[in-house]
Chains A and B, each alone.
Chain A
Amino acid sequence: KAGVTQTPRYLIKTRGQQVTLSCSPISGHRSVSWYQQTPGQGLQFLFEYFSETQRNKGNFPGRFSGRQFSNSRSEMNVSTLELGDSALYLCASSLDRPSYNEQFFGPGTRLTVL
């Protein structure tokens, strides 16, 4: 069974631009969660999608958004990029609720904002 894939793996943007990251979950997994990892804040929950609906959201500004398609693939978008958005963005898929289902993580997208 193929693992979770994320594209692109690396991205360099400048302040003010926007970016779209993609995540393809394991086949059969309907829950996709997104996380941001920085050296200062560690891993932080962004949002979770299930069956094309955002089910939960973390404490991030509205510049961070996402969506999920009918095949469970998910995208996240960050608009008006700031230097502080430089981070490793990870997605994880699971059969259902991430709090009590094993999470399978993708390799991450490393975003650098200049």
Chain B
Amino acid sequence: KNEVEQSPQNLTAQEGEFITINCSYSVGISALHWLQQHPGGGIVSLFMLSSGKKKHGRLIATINIQEKHSSLHITASHPRDSAVYICAVGTNFGNEKLTFGTGTRLTIIP
């Protein structure tokens, strides 16, 4: 079982829909990161959180430490939101590193 599981793997939605991407992890973490990767490879950090909820524009990230679960929400989705969204957890027990989920490919249709 992977340490970081994301769902769904692929998501296609109509413009304007509310989007939810889920991330579950099985290890103790220091923080959880949500990343966005556009075609061509560039990765942008969207959020880093260790508790509660963060909001930036139309993006909202939440984390439940007890349940080892995080969600990324996109409100009023737009075709420019089409990208791969990657969840990563930071662990610092012994060997510190980021461990990544396999990503969710989001396609927003106009």
Contact = CB atoms under 8 A, between A and B. Distances in A.
A11 interface: no
B26 interface: no
Contact of B90 (A88, A90, A100, A104): A100
B42 A55 contact: no
A48 B96 contact: yes
Question: For the side of the interface on A, what is the size category?
Answer: 20 to 34
Contacts, number: 69
A42 B100 contact: yes
A85 B95 CA distance: 23
B43 to A, nearest CB: 4
A98 B100 contact: no
B50 A108 contact: no
B97 A45 contact: yes
Judged by DSSP, the binding face of A is strand
Question: For the side of the interface on B, what is the size category?
Answer: 20 to 34
B52 to A, nearest CB: 15
B59 interface: no
A16 interface: no
B83 interface: no
A86 to B, nearest CB: 14
A43 B97 CA distance: 12
21 contacts: A37-B41, A42-B101, A42-B102, A45-B97, A45-B98, A48-B97, A57-B95, A88-B41, A90-B43, A92-B43, A97-B92, A98-B90, A99-B91, A99-B97, A100-B50, A101-B48, A102-B33, A104-B45, A105-B35, A105-B43, A108-B41
Given A55-B96, A105-B42, 12 more contacts: A37-B41, A45-B98, A57-B95, A58-B97, A99-B29, A99-B31, A99-B91, A100-B48, A100-B90, A100-B92, A102-B33, A105-B35
